[in-house]
Amino acid sequence: MSIGISVEHIGADPHGDRGGPAQPLLTVKKLVKHFDLKKSFLETLNGGGKVVRAVDGVDFKVLKGETLGVVGESGCGKSTTARLLMHLIEPSAGEIVFNGETVGSPALPLREYRRQVQMVFQDSYSSLNPRLTIQDSIAFGPQVHGVPKREALTRARDLLARVGLEPSRFAERYPHELSGGQRQRVNIARALASEPRLVILDEAVSALDKSVEAQVLNLLMDLKDEFGLTYIFISHDLHVVRYISDRVMVMYLGKVAETGPAEALFERPLHPYTRALLSSMPSMDPDHRTEEAPLAGDPPNPIDPPPGCRFHTRCPHAEAVCAQQVPSLESENGREAACLIHEPGSGHSDARAAIYAA
Amino acid sequence: MIFYLLRRIVYTIPIMLGVAFFCFLLVHISPGDPLVAILPPDASAELQRQLMTLYGFDRSWPEQFFTWLWRALQGDLGTSIASGRPVAEEVFKAVGNTLMLACLATLIGFVLGSLFGFVAGYFSNSWVDRAASALSVLGVSVPHYWLGMVMVIIFSSWLAWLPATGAGPGGSDAWAWDWEHIQFMILPAITMSVIPMGIIARTVRALVADILAQEFVVGLKAKGMTDTGIFLHVVKNAAPTALAVMGLQLGYLLGGSILIETVFSWPGTGFLLNSAIFQRDLPLLQGTILVLAMFFVLLNLLVDVVQTTIDPRIQRS
Amino acid sequence: MSTAITAPAAVAANTPYERSAGFWTGVLRKLARDPVAIGAAIVLLLLVAMALFAPLLTPHDPYQASMLKRLKPIGFENYLLGTDELGRDMLSRLMVGARLSLFMGITPVLIAFVIGSGIGILAGYAGGLVNTLIMRTIDVLYAFPSVLLAIALSGALGAGIGNALLSLTIVFIPPIARVAESVTTQVRSRDYVEAARASGAEAFTIVRVHVLGNVLGPIFVYSTSLIAVSMILASGLSFLGLGVKPPEPEWGLMLNTLRTAIYTQPWVAALPGLMIFITSISFNLLSDSLRSAMDVKN
């Protein structure tokens, strides 16, 4: 047995799971990240500075063994959320609970959490150290966690084979000698080397050619089954997200707009933003056109987000109340939407009707 | 942009304080008693104490620093131990001479350097380019004090065209803008111009080659734009950076003139530094370094401000 | 499932791996194709060999003065390059002079490379307040033109080899630290460093494995470009009487003592400077070639 994880996965409780399969693997509560803007001279004198509200109070769950797709326009906070989940940047507020334990608590120190959660980045080249052979890059993580070098290298070669790269040809190559697709396979192998349970894929296939993208997606799905992984799949490509995800979360300006099972969400979006986003998606089926107007313009500046519902400046259904009241994430039948239309008694003129319609 | 300029100016203050502190430290890192140079070997303890008080060496460091700084701000840089005259007086007389030489050298360097750089960039990768590049490598590699000697050997000793040393006939101090005096400037100025020439040639070559390779210039050429038009375009785009480099080079020459001034016995700051070092005249050394370094800091600031103002492409935040 | 994984590894263990050329091998290969680099390297090797084996090669005793043979021209009797103002053999003195001249030119850059890299990498990787404190201090030293700083320091410290080395080292630390800081800041934001942090590695391990290998190359190339400047400055200090003291042969000092002879024996007097020139231009050319060989775009 060369890869330690494989056999244990078959057992009833392979990871020391707590709370059984129904308990979420990851629960994110009120996650906030505000970046300080570089203060200008005058603001320094005044002692104040502005902040970019990149992630502004995000709640979601990731269930064991599922793939959660995360979509949204660029700048909506999806990549910041990924980096927060990895603790690459410190959250300004909020809590991350992994497998029943708060991350950073004595029961789950950051170091152990980081072994169990790994990330694959978008830029396949910049995410590999150009001066290390790819087997050294893959073996680095396990060595950090105390695996002896020889063993780590063996594991690296096995993983290379598993992601479809012949170890005898690739193990001692340098990243610049590989194609983009091959490098992304290496990055996947690197993420898997420390035997994680959750892998965050941040635009992991976005930079690849379409044909290569499909191969890598299929590889990801195979690996997920084989190693019992859970994925958070971040992408701007709605087709890909629909293809790979079990559930989807839509983000807008640092907040969650809507979450729900992938098929339901794509078939019948609840939030006007989701509808607008989906309408920008070239449809394969002429019978499935949405009447929603596609999104115009750029999202508002996250330094100074609009009050109330953040989408009201671009929303075709916006009413006066939308600029005053912040919608809460209402859940029903496994679906959630942060829109006053779906909030009974919110004061929006469509509120009642929508509830009955749903 | 206003904010950038303001910040840039405010940012210069701590740098200047740091520079001043460094100059202040110079006296304190120097081994031995600075008074040794002026004290007779059999000086009484009383005389020694009096001089200590006179030069302020008996007080605490911070006290000495702030007293020194306060006086320096008022233009009092202390008294030269060797000559007994005010340091400020000696330094400012010498700075004028150095500035004259450095400006002329920068001008020569800029004109020739731009010319070589322009030709090299315009005909990039031709033999002209390679020759100009070789020339600029020579310019930055040559020990200029040696080049000065070679110039003296060729033009003074061998051809006897120009005087070798000094700043005027009969070793007089007074300067005048006539050939009698100007001829003394030519050799040191040409020697001094070699480094800025090499650096400006390199900069201009890169700028011109870059601008000509830009797609819109290629497009303009294809549309039949005249050579004059392209030339003007290149000049307009290369000028701000080239001028900025020139400004900085002037600063380097002011600070770096000591070796050349020594070779040509030019009565500038370099010459002053040289004598300060050999007479262990620390107040004079300190004052000269302070003035030159402040000049350099302010020149840097000026170059930045001017460049930001004339070149709208530079986005600084 | 597990067999599918182990099978290729078993094969792999028996077949030799395709080992590809490392980064530096590629750089060396490019340099070997560059005639300018080869020329400069040969000149420098000859100079170093001359310095190392000087005692075996010198035709005369470099310290042996002779009142009768002062300032003889090139080719006088068996003095191939003439004699200096004290009648000592120029060739022998130039050969032995290479030792101190090269030593005083190269050592400050080497020490400054170690210290400056350390400071710059620390500032670049730590970021924040540490970065601000370090870099603002460096800025103060950077505010002096290098010649002025070298002369100020050695002027205050006094003449001598040790003081000249110390002054020049202090002169070269700020520029190297600046380059190190900016390269490190760039590398720190690369995804592979993020990935290493995400794997839970300590800062020290990340710097050792992922940062050093990627920043030392550029810092080194930049530092080599300073050797030419350092050669000129070191000899310049001796030329001013601030570095090596007589009677030790050193090119800058020799140039100074021969200054009075430029009217009587101009070509002999110019020789030490020519040596400095040849050395500094060779270092400049080699450094330029190294830079373009390391440039990935080429």
- Which of A144-158, B116-130, B218-232, B248-262 shows the lowest mean pLDDT across its residues? B218-232
* Mean pLDDT, rounded, of chain B: 81
Residue A358: the pLDDT is 43
Residue A313: the pLDDT is 83
CB C23 to CB A131 under 8 A?
Answer: yes
Per cent of chain B over pLDDT 70 is 88
A110 contacts chain C (CB < 8 A): yes
CB A167 to CB C190 under 8 A?
Answer: no
A window 267-326, beta carbon within 8 A of C: none
| Of B58 and A10, the one with more pLDDT | B58
Q: How far apart are CA C208 and CA C216, in angstroms?
A: 11
| Of A39 and A148, the one with more pLDDT | A148
Band the pLDDT of A139: cuts 50, 70, 90: very high
* Mean pLDDT, rounded, of chain C: 85
What single-letter amino acid sits at B40? P
Q: Which of B221-225, B240-244, C190-194 has the highest mean pLDDT?
A: C190-194
DSSP 8-state code for residue B160: -
Which CA distances in Å does C129 have to B12, B317, C134, C185, C194? 19, 20, 9, 14, 21
The torsion defined by the Cα of C269, C271, C273 and C275, in degrees rounded to 10, comes to: -160
Tokens of C43: 């000149």
Residue C199: the pLDDT is 85
Contact A134, A173 (CB under 8 A): yes
B window 229-268, beta carbon within 8 A of C: 251-252, 254-256, 258-259, 262-263
Find the DSSP H helices in C53-89.
54-57
Calculate ∠ Cα B285-C259-C70, nearest 5°: 135
What phi and psi values does residue C215 have, to the nearest 5 degrees?
-105, -30
CATH number of the CATH domain containing B103 = 1.10.3720.10
B158 Cβ neighbours under 8 A, 6+ residues apart: C266
Best residue in A140, A149, A166 to probe C by mutation, most C CBs within 10 Å? A140
Q: How far apart are CA C152 and CA C107, in angstroms?
A: 19
CB B255 to CB C269 under 8 A?
Answer: no
DSSP 8-state code for residue C295: -
Least Cα separation, residue C195 to chain B (angstroms): 30
Find the DSSP H helices in chain A.
5-10, 41-46, 78-85, 110-116, 134-144, 149-162, 167-170, 180-193, 210-227, 238-244, 262-267, 272-279, 351-357
Residue C121: the pLDDT is 95
Shortest CA distance from B4: residue in chain A: A41
Q: How far apart are CA B259 and CA B101, in angstroms?
A: 13
Position B132 pLDDT exceeds 50: yes
| Of A245 and B240, the one with more pLDDT | A245
Best residue in A37, A40, A41 to probe B by mutation, most B CBs within 10 Å? A41
Band the pLDDT of A15: cuts 50, 70, 90: low
Q: How far apart are CA C141 and CA C149, in angstroms?
A: 8
Residues of A with CB below 8 A from C18's CB?
168-170, 172-173
Residue B55: the pLDDT is 66
CA atoms within 13 A on the CB side of A64: 18
Residues listed for chain B = 317
- Which of A22-31, A228-237, B81-90, C92-101 shows the lowest mean pLDDT across its residues? B81-90
Q: Which value does ipTM take for this structure?
A: 0.83
- Per the structure, the count of domains in chain B is 1
Structural domain including B262 reads 91-279
Q: Domain spanning C40-62+88-293 has what CATH number?
A: 1.10.3720.10
Contact B259, C147 (CB under 8 A): yes
Band the pLDDT of B265: cuts 50, 70, 90: confident
Closest to C5 (Cα-Cα) out of A6, A123, B300, A31: A6
Residue B312: the pLDDT is 61
Contact C91, C80 (CB under 8 A): yes
CB A41 to CB B10 under 8 A?
Answer: yes
Contact B35, B58 (CB under 8 A): no
Residue B172: the pLDDT is 57
Shortest CA distance from B11: residue in chain A: A41
pLDDT in tens, A284-325: 666 655 555 667 667 777 787 888 888 888 888 888 888 888
Residue C150: the pLDDT is 92
Per cent of chain A over pLDDT 90 is 28
DSSP 8-state code for residue A202: E
Least Cα separation, residue B183 to chain C (angstroms): 19
| Of B21 and A45, the one with more pLDDT | B21
Position A185 pLDDT exceeds 70: yes
Q: How far apart are CA A51 and CA A57, in angstroms?
A: 14
Chain C adjacent subunits, 3+ CB pairs under 8 A: A, B
Least Cα separation, residue C290 to chain B (angstroms): 15
CB B3 to CB A38 under 8 A?
Answer: no
Position A5 pLDDT exceeds 50: no
Contact A244, A233 (CB under 8 A): yes
Tokens of B57: 């060496």
C175 Cβ neighbours under 8 A, 6+ residues apart: C116, C142, C222, C226
Q: What is the mean pLDDT of residues B37-48?
A: 68
Shortest CA distance from C196: residue in chain A: A141
Residues of B with CB below 8 A from A38's CB?
317
**Which domains, from first to last, does chain A contain?**
24-38+48-248 (3.40.50.300), 275-356 (no CATH)
Band the pLDDT of C26: cuts 50, 70, 90: confident
